[in-house]
A and B are shown apart, each in its own frame.
Chain A
């Protein structure tokens, strides 16, 4: 089992719809959870982080965390074609003092005009 799992997609949604991206993780001790957006040929850009159970909203983005079920999700409201990218879920590794990030392989999102 991979430490962080994401559906590779592509997830295709029409412009204006809600895109829902999901991620599961295996280490129950993980404490912080991040969503990065990565455009083709570019580096990952941090868009959301969440540390506590529940929802966290920032503009059109909502991150949801459920530690009991070990999943994190990202909702993108009013999706735009410019949101088309790969979304990487990352979880910190509490086993090491470095708190390095463990990444999933990413979900490719396509927003159709």
Chain B
């Protein structure tokens, strides 16, 4: 079946601009996560959705970052007033289960470059 999809695959923007990154999880997966990965590092947690609500947004670095999942499926990560330090690969993952035993499957990621 289809895996997690993310669009765009690459996004180049200028400092100060607004960007939206989209994630379409595996069909039927209720749990959705956003992570961010910098070169040479493992992914770092940003936000978790259980259904439509953001159950844990403790990883968002500041209030320029926001994410929504209005219908419990597709999610959009929004970054306002982008900064060069926001450049990274943004990964979305979904899981068929919530709780401790929740294998997470990643999408291909969106590489964001802020000039």
Interface, chain A (partner B; CB < 8 A) = 4, 31-32, 34, 36, 42-46, 49, 51, 88, 90, 92, 94, 96-106
Would B101 and A31 count as touching, CB distance under 8 A? Answer: yes
CB < 8 Å A-B pair total = 67
- What mask results when residues 6 to 30 of chain B are scored 1 for a CB within 8 Å of chain A, else 0? 0000000000000000000000000
| B residues neighboring A (CB under 8 Å) | 33, 35, 40-45, 48, 50, 55-56, 58-59, 89, 91, 98-109
* Given known A100-B59, A103-B43, contact A32–B108 (CB-CB < 8 A): no
Chain A interface, DSSP helix/strand/loop, else mixed: loop
| Inter-chain contact A105/B100, CB cutoff 8 Å | no
**Nearest-Cβ distance from residue A49 to partner chain B, whole angstroms:** 5
| Most-contacted residue by chain B among A31, A36, A42, A43 (CB, 10 A) | A43
A104 CB contacts on chain B under 8 angstroms: 42
B100:A92 contact, CB within 8 angstroms = yes
Closest to A36 in B: B106
Nearest CB of B to A33, in Å: 11
Tell me which residues across on chain A come within 8 A of B103, comparing CB atoms: 34, 46, 49
Q: Which of B35, B43, B89, B102 contacts A99 (CB 8 A)?
A: B102
Instruction: Establish whether residues B41 and A105, one from each chain, have CB atoms under 8 Å apart when the complex forms.
Output: yes
Interface pair B41/A97, CB less than 8 Å apart: no
> Can you give 10 A-B contacts (C-beta < 8 A)?
A31-B100, A43-B91, A43-B106, A46-B106, A51-B101, A97-B56, A99-B100, A100-B59, A103-B41, A105-B41
The complex places the Cα of A4 from the Cα of B44 at a distance, in Å, of 12
Q: Which of A31, A88, A98 contacts B42 (CB 8 A)?
A: A88
- Which residues does chain B contribute within 8 Å of A92, judged by CB atoms? 100, 102
